[in-house]
Amino acid sequence: MAHKQKHSWSIDHPIEPFEPIAAEQLPSGDDWLYQIKWDGVRMLVYADQDGCELFNRRGNKRTPLYPELTAWSSYCTAQSVLLDGEVIALGPDGKPSFHEVMRRDGIRRSDRLTAAIQEVPITYMVFDLLYCDGEWWTDKPFIDRQAKLQSIIKPNRAVQLVPTAAEGSLLLQVTGSQGLEGIVAKRGSSTYAIGGKDNRWLKIKHWGDVVAVIGGYTTNEDGIVNALLAGLYDASGRLHFIGKVGSGRLKRTEWAALSEVFAPARRDSSPFAQRHRDMAGATWVEPLLTMRLQFAEWRWQEGRQLRQPTLQAFVDVPPGSCLLPQP
């Protein structure tokens, strides 16, 4: 693809997409539009009459993994285009699942791709336009880029336009009730800052929380605690590992002090009912202390760990009351 001469972009140096920053509440003011935040893999589509290439947010080529998207003229009427969006895959519950899409995005052997295409169908959710038919759109307002997308994208089974809403509170409520990740607020006047990250785009996530038992911890090379192993009990009294927590609201000095806190409770064997690779190098403790965690996703019925868990606080809760949710 001779992009360098024709478009002033080069697939040897893929574009780094514009990123939103985290916010805890909706912004105020009238110059805001809202879109669903899809729990998938960020993907840029570079396409012209010579072909189509796909790159993720880190500039890694993903074209071979998503052949559904390479026949780009089937879903776009432009002659050349650079699209921004999210590749998603649905879980058994019909909701976007990061675990499922990673079954596709994590493939590194071509002999596994054919089966994965059948097992994990994907959809490309298009939400922005950077370039179209000889013209860069990055300096145009977001609202204009959305209108242009509406005119050139022809949705099909594998490609959809992300709807844009003017009412953020309603969309936040709906996504919360449906168990989706959250929403992104974007200023209607905002340009697209390649490689940028600022408050013209805000992501507001729905977070879950759970009180869990501490069954062990890991340390860094200096012997300072750097992560806690969390668990919940089942009805039979077995402690199930639900995740490794290495971030949160503790200061460095507080992490350093945890070794002394755990010292009286250390034990030789794991209190958990199963083993997991995240337990490597762990020091085990009696499951006496509990903590409140916040997390982005948890498909516990499928035996998966918390996604993006963060430690909010240590709490005075009886460990035996920290139970797995009932099916």
Spell out the SS3 assignment of 71-122.
CHHHCECCCCEEEEEEEEEECCCCCECHHHHHHHHCCCCHHHHHHHHHHCCE
pLDDT at 10: 64
Q: What share of the chain is helix, strand, coil (3-state, %, to 5)?
A: 25, 35, 40
- What pLDDT was estimated at residue 4? 37
Record the tokens describing residue 117, joined without a space. 């295409």
Q: Is 327 within a domain?
A: no
Q: What is the pLDDT of residues 232-282, one digit of tens each?
A: 999 999 999 999 999 887 888 889 899 899 999 999 999 999 999 999 999
Residue 66 Cα distances to 54, 96, 162, angstroms: 8, 17, 19
Query: Can you give the CATH number for the domain in which 105 is found?
Result: 3.30.470.30
- Range(s) of the domain holding residue 183: 3-205
Whole-structure pTM value: 0.74
Q: What is the mean pLDDT of residues 155-179?
A: 94
In a domain, 221, yes or no: yes
Of 170, 205, 240, the last residue of a domain is 205
| Chain centroid offset of residue 254 CA | 28
Q: What is the pLDDT of residues 9-55, one digit of tens each?
A: 666 789 999 999 988 899 999 999 999 999 899 999 999 988 999 99
Question: Confidence band (pLDDT; 50, 70, 90) for 300?
Answer: confident
How far apart (Å, rounded) are the C-alpha atoms in residues 211 and 314?
9
Q: Same structural domain for residues 293 and 170? A: no
Residues 152 and 81 reside in one and the same domain: yes
